Structures are given as structure tokens and as C-alpha cells.
Structure 1
């Protein structure tokens, strides 16, 4: 999983970069011109949110889809859905900003950023732009860049307001019906839950920690009440939401114990357990074996 430190290694930044300043109690935010970045990115998750104004042709691999980008577009990505970008034209310009969940969480619970369909698992990640929209959104990015270097006390609030503007511009590009909750669409909710569950796996680095661990986490990402999610999943499968989450985490734990060289503490952390003892109890409850004993049995079978 790529993190913000990986992003900065891709750029030629001065030692006096603002990175350490913004990586603070406010969370992290920064804005760049796209001509400073690599135009072949690996298919993976990131630990940050990103909004890109893409000017240049290429192909976007987003979740299980390939999307051809042949004109200016606005791209939204989040830490849950893996994606990759491959350019098909030499000229690549535009802007992008990246920010962490902590940066968003400085706002109230009613924040349009956190609640926007643009950052939900079933949201549309790409919005093609006309010339007017390109100019308007480019201007917002230019203002972001200017604000980044200001000494204004409330600069982070200003930057969040600019994020709001971009999100609202994108929301205006969709029919209003796209933002209506489909509370009675049980089959769609069930499908989206399992899609979201699977998108968290496989875990490819011990530094990555599972983002969604409870039924409440999934309900929040799907913009529905947890009781409604539980009812839909129970009616569709006969199992509770928590059972499905626990079974999938157990499955991933077995794979990591068998195929990775991570120690048990690293595996516990990556699967979202605060303490190794919690993971050990969880794994033993679901398999009848401790993680250590499970790994020993697998190792002996392979010898």
C-alpha cells in the first residue's frame, strides 16, 4: 500500500519542503502539478485520499474496471479502492491534491467531504470536463498552491473550503438522482458490502492496517444505518455482517501466516488488532489453533 512518504520520494522536493509542517495535528494535505510525478503507477491501495485534474490521455485501472481517459477529467480516489494509471500520450499536465482522513476529520460529522458519494465505494471516480470546467477547477488548484505557502493562521480551513468547491463542482456534473439513497435496494446493498469487503484484501504490506473492521465501519462507507445493513445481509445470506467480516479476516490471517514472512505481531497489526493477544484469541476462536501453532503445522507439512 502506497503512503504519503512514498509519494514524496517520487518528487524532487527541496529539503525545506512544507511536508513536515503540514504533517501535524491537522492531518496531512498537499497539492502538486502533475508534470512532477510518475505516469505509470502500480495497481494498489493508498493510505490517503486524492483528487486529480488529469490533462493527458491514459488508462485508469480502477477496482475491476479499465477506463479510457481521452480528454480532461477529474479523478477521485480513496484508501479503500485500489487503482493504477498508465499514460498513453506523452503530454501529461494538470494538478492533484492528496490528504489524509485526519485532515477531513477536523470537520464536523456533517462534512460534505466525508459524506460525499464521490468518496464512497460505489461512487463514480471519474468526471470528464469541458473547457470551462477545466479553467474553473485549475483556478481552484492554483489558489490551493498559493494558500499552501501562506502564513495565514487558518490556512487549513481555507484549504478544506477549496476541497469543498472541487467536490461540489463534480457533484453538479451528475444528475441529482445519482445522489439519492436507494434504501430499498437490498440486493445492491448486499453486493456493495461484499465488494467493499473483498477490496480490502489481499493485504500486501505489514505497514498497512485494515481500514474497515466492523459492521459500523461498512455501514458508514455505504451511507446506510448499521441496522439496515445487518438486516439485509442476514436476510440474503443467513449470516450476520460481523460473521462475514470475521470469516474474511480469518481467511486472510491464514494466508499471511502461511505465505508471508511477517511475524505474528505484524500480522495482527495489519488485520486491525490493537494487541497481538487480541488477534491470538480471535484466531483461536475461529480455527481452534493459535496463530503460532497454525504456522508450525503448515511449516511441518511443507518440509
Structure 2
């Protein structure tokens, strides 16, 4: 095992770098990657350090054997299985055989930019803390394999429409998986009580910021609002979110607020004062400091740069 402690990774590139794996094949243009793992150069048998990803991943195992462990649950990865993970708890993985295994990773920004803002409504399984690997039929696996090959070919090309094409192909895979594997899946019923609290929080967070964007909500929720929605004490909700995801609940809210702030500055004519109030800040100066800390630009300068680029 590579001894690197508990690794926090925002991308597969960061994770593989920390695990001292080759990263020559990466295209760092967008938050998406696809590889056949037999091209990475794992020295088998391989066991990873514990890591927590800030990205989603799909594993399509045509021919290979390995194991994933999340919390206290371990899953065998066998031929013709599909395995999904999302930004969540610490985990480890190991490989004994790698012959034909496709790994796809993507982050939330990529999903929303190239598939749509309502991606979690269309694909609720993306929200879950834990999804067991699924062994699928030969016919279904071959259908998905053809799409994966198109994804891989597109990823290796240099094209101005590259990621738009990838977004469409990824959406096809997600719909295929939803229809054939998780048609009636509801993540709220997966896992233990703590997992259910986290999933409910994520769903409410996502829905609330969609409502803000659509004008159905006037002001951003505070921690106590999310706690009230689940009949929980704010301190208890905060402790569950922190222990299960590794991020404070205020960090989750701040990240969503930043995404919404960018969208409002780019796509609306609301004044910065109006945006300040809408996102729950008491003073424009507080909002400006928050936005500049995370983007390097003031809200006004960010809006001006968008207008100039257009």
C-alpha cells in the first residue's frame, strides 16, 4: 500500500499523483476523465491508501478483479460489473487483475455545464452515499461498452466540441444505467440513518438553490433551516454532515452559494446589492470579500469580465 495518509482529492489527477501513479494520459481541460486502467501502469497487486474523492466515478469491469472498501463495507469488483461512487467518505481500492476496465470520472461542474442543471432530478442515484456494484447482462454491458469506446475516442481527440460531445454521450450512459439498473432507485432508502440525513440534506440543498435561481425562493437557507427541514438540532446535523462527508455544512452551503453567485452575476441583471441579500449576506462588503476570496475577482470585476468576453 502507498502510505500517504488520508488523501483529499478534487480530481482523479490529484488522486493518482498522490498515489504515485502515472498521469501522462490526463487532459486537464475540464472536470472529466476516461481511461482503460490497463493503460495506467498499476503494479499488481495494488492497494491504495485511504482517500476521499470530490468527484463522481463509474467503473465498467469487462475483465478484471478487485475490491472497494467504503466505511465498513467491502465490495468485490468482478467481470461485467458496474460500480459507481460519488463525492463522499474515505475509501480504498485494490486490484489483482486489470485487463479491460474503463474508469470514468467527472465533477459536479462538468455535469451541470454539459448535461444540465436538473441532473440530480433526472439521475437521483448520483446523490447516494453508497451504491452496491451491479453485475449486468452481456447484452447490456456490450451496449455500454460501445458508448464507452466513443467516449474514449472523443476524449483523446482535439476538437472544439469535444466536451459537448462527451456530455451527450455521458448522458446516454446515465439514462441507460438508470433504465436498466436503477429505474426505481431512491437514494433516501440506501444506507443507515446518518447516510439518510446526508442524502436528504444534499437533495434539499440542490433543490433550494434551483428554487433560488428560478425565483421560487427569496433568500438562501441557513444551517438552522436545513436542520428544521429534517426535525434535527443544527449542531447534530452539522456533526453528521462533517463526520460523513468530511466537509462542514457551512462549506457545502458556501460552495453552492458561490456557484449561484457566478450564475446570477453572469446571467441576470440583478444588482450586486440584490444578489448579496438573495444569498443571505448581511452586507455587500461581506459578499464581495467572500466572492473575491474564492475567485480572485470582486463581483463587479467578475461581471465586467463576463461582459467583455461576450
The question of a shared fold, defined as TM-score above 0.5 by the shorter chain, is answered with: yes
* Range moving further from structure 2, 225-234 or 76-85: 225-234
Secondary structure of the equivalent of 2:131?
A: coil
Q: TM-score, normalised to structure 1's length?
A: 0.58
Q: What's 1:233 paired with? A: 230
1:71 aligns with 2:63: no
Runs of 4 or more off by more than 6 Å in structure 1?
225-229, 249-252, 269-274
Secondary structure of the equivalent of 1:19?
A: coil
Q: What's 2:39 paired with? A: 36
How much has 1:110 moved relative to structure 2?
1.8
Q: Deviations over 1:126-151 (max 9, x none)?
A: 22122222222222121112112334
Within a 5 Å distance, the mapping from 1:277-292 to structure 2 comes to none
Q: Deviations over 1:39-84 (max 9, x none)?
A: 4223321122111112312222133311223332111111113332
Report how many residues are paired. 224
* C-alpha distance in 1 between matches for 2:242 and 2:34: 39
List gaps (5 residues or longer) in structure 1. 198-214, 253-266, 275-303
- Name the structure with the higher strand share: 2
| CA-atom RMSD in angstroms | 4.3
> Is contact 1:57–1:71 with CA below 8 Å preserved after alignment?
yes
Change (3 A) 1:175 1:3: closer
Q: What's 1:243 paired with? A: 235
* C-alpha distance in 1 between matches for 2:202 and 2:78: 36
How much has 1:91 moved relative to structure 2?
4.2
> Is contact 2:75–2:132 with CA below 8 Å preserved after alignment?
no
1:219 aligns with 2:216: no
Change (3 A) 1:32 1:192: same
List gaps (5 residues or longer) in structure 2. 1-7, 212-220, 256-310
> Is contact 2:56–2:87 with CA below 8 Å preserved after alignment?
yes
> Is contact 1:52–1:97 with CA below 8 Å preserved after alignment?
yes
1:135 aligns with 2:126: no
Q: What's 1:59 paired with? A: 67
